[in-house]
A and B are shown apart, each in its own frame.
Chain A
Amino acid sequence: MFYREAGDFKTSYVSDSQTFPIAFDRYCYFVTLFIGVVVLPFVVNDYIVSAILAPFFIYSIAAIGLNILTGYCGQVSLGTGGFMAVGAYSCYKLMTGFPEVSILLHVVMAGAITAIVGAIFGLPSLRIKGFYLAVATLAAQFFLVWLFNKVSWFYNYSASGQISAPERTVLSIPVTGPNVEPWAMYLICFAFAFISAVLARNLTRGSLGRTWMAIRDMDIAAEIIGVNPLRAKLTAFAVSSFFIGVSGALFFAVYLGAAEAGDSFGIQKSFIVLFMIIIGGLGSIFGSFAGAALLVVLPVFLKLLGVDLMGWPTDLVAHIQLVIVGFLIILFLVLEPHGLAQLWRLGKEKLRLWPFPH
């Protein structure tokens, strides 16, 4: 009824190819943005930000990054944790090496450094694919974590091997360190997630995104029609690693405040981000957000429900959570391989016909 294309006339190419062609979608999007920018900063508290919103946005950025590589370009990667570590450690080195430069620039630079590292580790993808590539990226994961543990230059020779974020400000408001206000932490994560999503969305719609998808769908055919696989694969690795690096930098500097490679960026991280894009939906920016939301909110929700309301033992709830996440993954792989994003698409299709389905 209200969710339809009819009556919404597009008079230019720009308006015809916009992200949200349906007016109702567009309004929803602006309302969400409005709530995100104007309402939420005034109502969030410490707990909501540090338990739900900050990890949600940061994992979303990582999921967008991995989705570009795995969902759009079809290159399976298990190195996400390692690339997040690159982002975190380069952010730390930049923060301590150039304290006068803005933290925002440091986060972007950390992303750029990760992009270079990612492109280097992406080189094997020119020769191998599928399982073999997954194993090669797994090697990157272990190598990077080992490197950050072994070479003490990366953690400024601190005795504990930990890196901890000094206080840095944006417009003289602290955004890292212990004195961060919850709304400041929220806004910086929101801003980076928003910009990443817009960037990723437009990259994947453009010619670059099409070359990635061509490689994903059939690399030989893509090569025959003139897609350069070297360029497509390496740009996918670089762009994907850029986002993952940004998320790693935020994860360390804004969210955790202190980190160590093995504990914060282990293989566990790689898997959780992979689960996010599988549950959320491969090859979809919305799916990255949906998957991150589910896997960040679900444990917190289960804990509230099990421990605080039902009074169950904490270990039981922790185990139930593992069971549920595992079950969800199997369920999605079997029933809806395209994840939450596909459910969302189907829902929209249905809504278009509502209330008069054929």
Chain B
Amino acid sequence: MKKLILITTAALFGGTVAMADLVFPSLSYRTGPYAAGGTPFADGYADYFTLINERDGGIGGVEARVIECETSYNTEKGVECYEATKGEGALVYQPLSTGITYQLIPRASADGIPVHSAGYGRTSAVNGQVFEWIFNYPTNYWNGASIAVKHILELNGGDISDKKIALLYHNSAYGKEPIPTLQALSEKHGFELDTIAIDHPGQEQKSQWLQIRREQPDHILFWGWGIMNQVALQEAINIRYPMENFIGIWWSGAEIDVVPAGAGADGYKSLQFHNVGSDFPVFDDIEEYVVKRGKAAGAGDQIGTVLYNRGLYSAMLAVEAARTAQELHGVAEIDASMMRDGMEALMMTAERMASLGLPNFGPTFQVTCENHGGEGLGAVAQWDASAQTWSLITDFIAPDLEVIQPLIEADSMAYAAENNIELRCN
């Protein structure tokens, strides 16, 4: 007991001494049915901060500290993690879960800590007039739905009025997110929309795929995550569904999702909002400063995979926002509200990405007070089972903002009215 008290006081002391750093909590999940996706992301997220500390001595001379907290993709644990880490001076939360993001939106807004949900979370947080503390650049689910439909349009020569598209989705806030957009798009383009839900965790999908066999959709859009992806791929192969017509969102398109299905998964498509592969200068630095020094996060076997890259990309966006905040305020030790200003002034140009060793890694975008979502570009990637690689088969495509913008307006204004939020940026 005495020893425990001693350790506790030592830990408390250590905590107070090490205050002079920039804290980036990582609400990760390395356990449970979503660990397959959560682990590489958390590794990439941690490794990039390690790289920044090892190579550059931190951000603007201040070391970055990543506090990892296990959520198991469970909203309750996510809230506990948020409460446990916010007192440490957390600058930004990237919870990697739409459910947890929904939980954190009101809490973080009240506490004044920014939340960044890159490619997930509440889509209408794009509207910075309503959501002061929430960011979802570079893209979001509604953009994803629109990009996928655009790709299908292209495949069909611009006319899909006689086609049937099925949305196969994780039965949660995450999977339900694209439905309004797809409904609006189905009205616009005349295709028939079919929504088929898969309940968490999705190990059993026989009935859903039976339904797909019966209804014979021309294209399937897939909003799955974790173990659900691998099962869906296998089931699609089992019913001999043409893989090139099966398009996953960016959370359903990693190596780990397609490799178990073997050669049958060849041609499966998924959206991406950043580039894939490890053919970028930054990976040489990671090898030199992180891996060789034995500081790689986790098992260190995920480097260069799609989700590792996404963790890396998210960390890079956080670091660049922190840098922008340091320039804006002229102080190195920024706090959460300065971080927010930095995120709102973030500009990702091609030169900037090249100078970071990530040329052409993601789309260029600019965050403004009104627009917290960037331009929302995304690309389509395809899996090559023989080469075991994902590769982008299109450029970064712009979503159909004509359809999405009114939906965002409506949803964010409803939120503002519900919560008596005054519009900003006037």
Contacts and interface: CB of A to CB of B under 8 A. Distances in A.
B110 A178 contact: yes
A257 B106 contact: yes
B31 A315 contact: yes
Nearest to A49: B83
B106 A177 contact: yes
A17 interface: no
A256 B103 contact: yes
Contacts of A314: 28, 30, 68-70
Given A260-B173, A309-B8, A315 B83 contact: no
Interface string A311-354: 00111011100000000000000000000000000000000000
B171 interface: yes
A309 B11 contact: yes
Interface in B59-100: 68-70, 72, 74-76, 79-80, 83-84, 86-87, 98-99
Interface stretch (A23-31, A122-130, A158-166, A194-202): A158-166
Given A160-B176, A164-B102, A177-B106, A315 B30 contact: yes
Contact of B70 (A162, A257, A263, A318): A318
B416 interface: no
Contacts of B70: 303, 307, 314-315, 317-318
Given A46-B83, A159-B411, A315-B30, A257 B172 contact: no
A160 B173 contact: yes
A263 B99 contact: yes
B177 interface: yes
Contact of A264 (B31, B75, B106, B411): B75
A149 B171 contact: yes
Interface in B350-397: none
A259 interface: yes
Contacts of A50: 79-80, 83
A164 B106 contact: yes
B107 interface: yes
B281 interface: no
A14 B209 CA distance: 65
B197 A149 contact: yes
A160 B79 contact: no
Given A260-B173, A262-B171, A309-B8, A318 B103 contact: no
Nearest to B107: A178
Contact of B80 (A51, A160, A259, A309): A51
Interface residues of A, number: 37
Interface string A249-276: 0000000111110111010000000000
B80 A300 contact: yes
B16 interface: no
A47 interface: yes
Contacts of A259: 75
A162 B102 contact: yes
B200 interface: yes
Contact of B84 (A51, A160, A177): A51
A308 interface: yes
Contacts of B39: 315
B179 interface: yes
A179 interface: yes
A258 B95 CA distance: 15
Interface in B26-58: 28, 30-31, 35, 39
A317 B77 CA distance: 14
A300 B83 CA distance: 12
A308 B72 CA distance: 18
Contact of B102 (A55, A160, A300): A160
A51 B86 CA distance: 13
Nearest to B80: A51
Contacts of A317: 70
Interface string A165-177: 0110000000001
B419 A257 contact: no
B83 A178 contact: no
Contacts of B103: 256-258
Contacts of A162: 99, 102, 173
Contacts of B211: none
A114 to B, nearest CB: 20
Contacts of B7: 309
Contacts of A161: 172-173, 176
Nearest to A315: B30
Nearest to B414: A158
A314 to B, nearest CB: 4
Contact of A319 (B31, B79, B83): B31
A55 B122 CA distance: 26
Nearest to B26: A314
A262 B199 contact: yes
B158 interface: no
Contacts of A160: 98, 102, 122, 173, 176-177
Contacts of A146: 199
Contacts of A177: 106
A99 B173 CA distance: 25
A266 B351 CA distance: 48
Contacts of A266: 200
Interface of A: 46-47, 50-51, 55, 146, 149, 159-162, 164, 166-167, 177-179, 256-260, 262-264, 266, 300, 303, 307-309, 313-315, 317-319
Given A159-B180, A160-B102, A313-B30, 14 more contacts: A47-B84, A159-B176, A160-B173, A161-B176, A257-B107, A258-B103, A258-B106, A260-B99, A263-B75, A264-B76, A307-B69, A315-B31, A315-B39, A318-B31
9 contacts: A51-B80, A167-B419, A257-B107, A260-B75, A260-B172, A264-B75, A300-B80, A313-B30, A314-B30
A-B interface, 6 closest residue pairs, ranked by CB to CB distance from nearest: A315-B30, A178-B106, A178-B110, A314-B70, A160-B173, A318-B31
